[in-house]
Amino acid sequence: MQKRKLGKSNLEVSAIGLGCMGMSFGFGPAMDKKEGIALIRAAVERGVTFFDTAEVYGPFTNEELVGEALAPVRAQVAIATKFGFKIDAKTGRNLGEVDSRPEHIREVAEASLKRLKTDVIDLFYQHRVDPSVPIEDVAGAVKDLIQAGKVKHFGLSEAGVQTIRRAHAVQPVTALQSEYSLWWREPEAEILPTLEELGIGFVPFSPLGKGFLTGKITEETKFDQTDFRNIVPRFTAENRKANQAVVDLVTEFAAHKKATPAQVALAWILAQKPWMVPIPGTTKLHRLEENIGAAAVQLTPDDLAKIENASSKIKVEGARYPENLQKLVNR
Q: Terminal CA-to-CA distance of the chain, rounded, Å?
A: 35
- Rounded-to-integer distance, Cα 270 and Cα 276, Å: 6
**Strands 12-14 and 3-5, sheet pairing:** antiparallel
* Residue 131 DSSP symbol: T
Is 13:174 a contact under the CB 8 Å cutoff?
A: no
Is 285:39 a contact under the CB 8 Å cutoff?
A: yes
- Rounded-to-integer distance, Cα 196 and Cα 182, Å: 20
pTM above 0.95, yes or no: yes
Q: Could you list the pLDDT tens digit for every one of the 331 residues in the chain?
A: 999 999 999 999 999 999 999 999 999 999 999 999 999 999 999 999 999 999 999 999 999 999 999 999 999 999 999 999 999 988 889 998 999 999 999 999 999 999 999 999 999 999 999 999 999 999 999 999 999 999 999 999 999 999 999 999 999 999 999 999 999 999 999 999 999 999 999 999 999 999 999 999 999 999 999 999 999 999 999 999 999 999 999 999 999 999 999 999 999 999 999 999 999 999 999 999 999 999 999 999 999 999 999 999 999 999 999 998 999 999 9
| 163: helix, strand or coil | helix
- The continuous run of DSSP H or E covering 44 comes out as helix 33-45
Please report the DSSP string for 269-289 in residue order.
HHHH-TTB----B-S-HHHHH
Please report the DSSP string for 77-106 in residue order.
-EEEEEE-EEE-TTT--EEEEE---HHHHH
| 227: helix, strand or coil | strand
Domains and CATH numbers, the chain: 3-326 (3.20.20.100)
Show Cβ contacts of residue 276 under 8 Å, excluding neighbours closer than 6 positions: 4, 180, 201, 202, 203, 204, 269, 270
| 310: helix, strand or coil | helix
| Alpha carbon separation from 58 to 24, 203, 248, 251 (Å, rounded) | 6, 21, 34, 33
What confidence score (pLDDT) does residue 127 get? 98
- Closest C-alpha to 210, from 176, 239, 253, 252: 239
Our answer to whether residue 180 is catalytic in this structure is no
Environment class of 28 (CB within 10 Å of its CB; exposed 0-12, middle 13-18, buried 19+)? middle
- The continuous run of DSSP H or E covering 302 comes out as helix 301-311
Selected catalytic residue, list 57, 125, 180, 321 = 57
**Strands 94-98 and 85-87, sheet pairing:** antiparallel
What confidence score (pLDDT) does residue 89 get? 82
- Rounded-to-integer distance, Cα 318 and Cα 243, Å: 9
What confidence score (pLDDT) does residue 10 get? 94
Please report the DSSP string for 178-212 in residue order.
EE-BTTB-GGGTTHHHHHHHHT-EEEEESTTTTTG
